[in-house]
Structure 1
Amino acid sequence: MGGRQLRIGSTASRALAGWLRRLRRHWQEPTLHMDVSANALLRMVADGQLDVAFVHEVEGSPLRVPESLRIRVLVEREPQFVSLPADHPAAARPVVRLSDLAEDRWMIDPAVDGEWDAVRRVLRTAGISPRVLHGDYHTAASLVAIGEVVTVCQPTSPSRPETAVRRLHGDPLGVRLLLAARTETELEGVYPDLADAYREVARQAPAYREWLDQDLVPGP
Structure 2
Amino acid sequence: MQLELRHLQAVCRIAEAGSLGLAARRLGVSQPALSAQLRRIERVAGGELFVRTRHGVEPTSLGEFVLGTARRVLLEMDALGAESRAFVTGRPLRLGCILLVLVDGLLEQTDLAMADQEVTVDLEHSATALLRMLGAGQYDAVAYGEVNEHEMPLPAGVLARTLIPKEPFCVRMSAGHPLAAREFVELADLADESWTTLVEDDDGGPEALVEACAKAGFVPSLRYRITDRTMRYGLIAAGRAISLSQPTAQPSEGTVLRPLAGSPITGRIRLAWNRSTVSAGQAALLYRAAARAYLATVDNNPFHRAWWDARPELHPVLE
Give TM-score scaled by structure 2 length: 0.64
How many Å separate the matches in 1 of 2:104 and 2:220?
35
Give the equivalent residue in structure 1 for 2:289: 193
Give the paired residue count.
220
The AA in structure 1 aligned to 2:111 is R
How far apart are 1:47 and its partner, in Å? 1.6
In structure 2, the partner of 1:128 is 218
Matched, 1:162 2:254: yes
- Pick closer, same or farther for the CA change 1:217–1:120 going to 2, 3 Å: farther
2:119 matched to which residue of 1? 30
Q: Hey, what does 2:191 align to over in structure 1?
A: 102
Paired letter, 1:62: E
SS in 2 for 1:140: helix
Larger radius of gyration: 2
> Which whole-Å CA distance do the structure 1 matches of 2:125 and 2:162 have between them?
19
User: How far apart, CA to CA, are the structure 1 residues paired with 2:92 and 2:284?
Assistant: 16
Task: State whether residues 251 and 300 of structure 2, in contact with CA within 8 Å, keep that contact through their aligned partners in structure 1.
Answer: no
**Could you say which residue in structure 1 is the equivalent of 2:93?**
6
Moved more, 138-147 or 181-190: 181-190
Matches of 1:62 and 1:14, distance apart in 2: 20
Alignment of 1:207 with 2:297, yes or no, is no
SS in 2 for 1:67: coil
Asked if 1 retains the 8 angstrom alpha-carbon contact of 2:193 and 2:221, the reply is yes
Contact 2:146 2:205 (8 Å CA) reproduced: no
Q: List per-residue Cα deviations over 1:79-127 (Å, max 9, x = no partner).
A: 1111001111211112110122112211223511122211111111111
Q: Do the aligned partners of residues 27 and 19 (structure 1) sit closer, same or farther apart at CA in structure 2, a change above 3 Å counting?
A: farther
1:61 maps to 2:150? yes
1:77 partnered with 2:173: no
Higher relative contact order (CA 8 A, sep 6+): 1
Greater shift, 64-73 or 26-35, is seen at 26-35
* Whole-Å separation in 2 of the counterparts to 1:118 and 1:209: 24
Give the aligned partner of residue 205 of structure 2. Answer: 115
> How far apart, CA to CA, are the structure 2 residues paired with 1:43 and 1:131?
30
Alpha-carbon distance between aligned partners in 1 of 2:268 and 2:101, rounded to the nearest angstrom: 15
**Structure richer in helix, relative to its length:** 2
Pair 1:177-2:264 in alignment? no
Q: Please identify runs of 4+ aligned residues in structure 1 that moved more than 6 A.
A: none
Separation in structure 1 between the aligned mates of residue 151 and residue 209 of structure 2, nearest angstrom:
15
Q: Is the 8 A contact 1:155 1:205 kept in 2?
A: yes
Q: 1:185 to 1:67 in 2, by over 3 A?
A: farther
Q: Tell me the SS of whatever aligns to 2:271.
A: strand
CA contact (8 A) 2:169 2:259 kept: yes
Task: Name the counterpart of 1:86.
Answer: 175
Aligned equivalents of 2:199 and 2:187: distance in 1?
20
Match of 1:19?
Answer: 106
* CA separation of 1:27 and 1:94: change in aligned 2, threshold 3 A: farther
What's the TM-score, normalizing by structure 1?
0.91
Structure with the larger strand share: 1
- Measured after TM superposition, the shift of residue 41 of structure 1 is 1.0
Cα distance between partner residues in 2 of 1:92 and 1:219: 30
C-alpha distance in structure 2 between counterparts of 1:209 and 1:153, whole Å: 15
Question: Which segment drifts farther, 182-191 or 56-65?
Answer: 182-191
Distance in 2 of aligned mates of 1:99 and 1:79: 17
Instruction: Verify: 1:140 aligned to 2:232, yes or no.
Output: yes
What is the root-mean-square deviation of aligned Cα atoms in Å?
2.0
Q: CA–CA distance in 1 between the matches of 2:92 and 2:301?
A: 31
- The alignment-based identity, stated in percent, is 31
Q: CA deviation at 1:78?
A: 1.6
- 98-107 vs 108-117, which moves further: 108-117
Selected match of 1:39 from 128, 142, 145: 128
Q: Which amino acid aligns with 1:75?
A: I
